[in-house]
Chain A
Amino acid sequence: MVPAGGYLLVSALLFSLGVMGVLLRRSAIVMFMCVEMMLNAVNLSLVAFSRLLGDPTGQVLVFFVMCVAAAEVSVGLALVIALFRNRESIDVDQIRLLRG
């Protein structure tokens, strides 16, 4: 049997990789993917805890996180499209100015 710590370590590792991706990449769309990855890393630890404690609450929370992620992606990608229309680029380094 794999101890609970194995799952938690994988989750922590995925979360750190997600943080790295968001901070290092320049493309807005890849940064979005990394945010999704971070949400998923948290989901993994929630499922592991739910199994550890024998309580479905953690898994219900994962369900909510999935819904929020779906909402976030649809709005975020609409923003990316609007951004691309405006600037012909999705490189976040070029979107520093507040005025269009």
Chain B
Amino acid sequence: MQVVLFGICALLAIVGAVGVITARNPVYSALFLVLNFFSLAGLYLSLEAQFLAVTQVIVYAGAIVVLFLFVIMLLNLRPEDLPRFRLDRTGPLVVLLSLGLLLGVGMGIWSLLGASFPQDPQAQAVGTVESLGRALFGRYLVGFEVVAVLLLVAMIGSVMLAKRRFQ
């Protein structure tokens, strides 16, 4: 069951990611992004992190990508006339760089490749609302408050930025 869920979601996540960077139309990019986020929510489910899976859908698919779509529609962005990619001299370099990054990270996690997840009930209950709530409002309370302030500041900042008429 977990293997099937992992296989499907991992495949869809990668398809979505490739779609985001190759789609000509920004609306399609945004939709591939939704696909990517949904499959990540599926992967979280397969890791027994139900709360984060649902939060992922609410925050990313329900709010962030809708904002992207809203801006794309508001600016009436059409498919780009120019070539999508910056494939001059830097292009191959960038691809090489990314592959090198992948290789580096791959080597870093080499020792963990075969590690299997603990199956005792206590380890499986890590992703429940109770466990997360205790951590969030206990050890990490200060961080939680700081994030709340951050969100408020971001809200004020974005209103000011979008409101102000330049020139």
A and B touch in the complex (CB under 8 A): yes
| Chain B, interface SS category | helix
B115 touches A70 (CB 8 A): no
User: In the complex, which residues of chain B have a beta carbon less than 8 angstroms from the beta carbon of A64?
Assistant: 143, 147
Number of interface residues of B (CB under 8 A): 91
Residue of B nearest to A19 (CB): B98
Number of interface residues of A (CB under 8 A): 72
With both chains docked as a complex, state the minimum distance between the C-beta of B117 and any C-beta of chain A, in angstroms. 5
User: In the complex, which residues of chain A have a beta carbon less than 8 angstroms from the beta carbon of B153?
Assistant: 71
Chain A interface (Cβ < 8 Å from any Cβ of B): 1-10, 12-21, 23-27, 29-30, 32-34, 36-37, 40, 43-44, 47-48, 50-52, 54-57, 59-60, 62-64, 66-75, 77-82, 84-86, 90-91, 93, 100
Q: Pull 18 A–B residue pairs with CB atoms less than 8 Å apart, ordered by A.
A: A10-B10, A14-B17, A16-B98, A16-B105, A20-B95, A20-B98, A26-B83, A27-B26, A27-B80, A29-B72, A43-B40, A47-B47, A54-B118, A73-B67, A81-B74, A82-B164, A85-B166, A100-B166
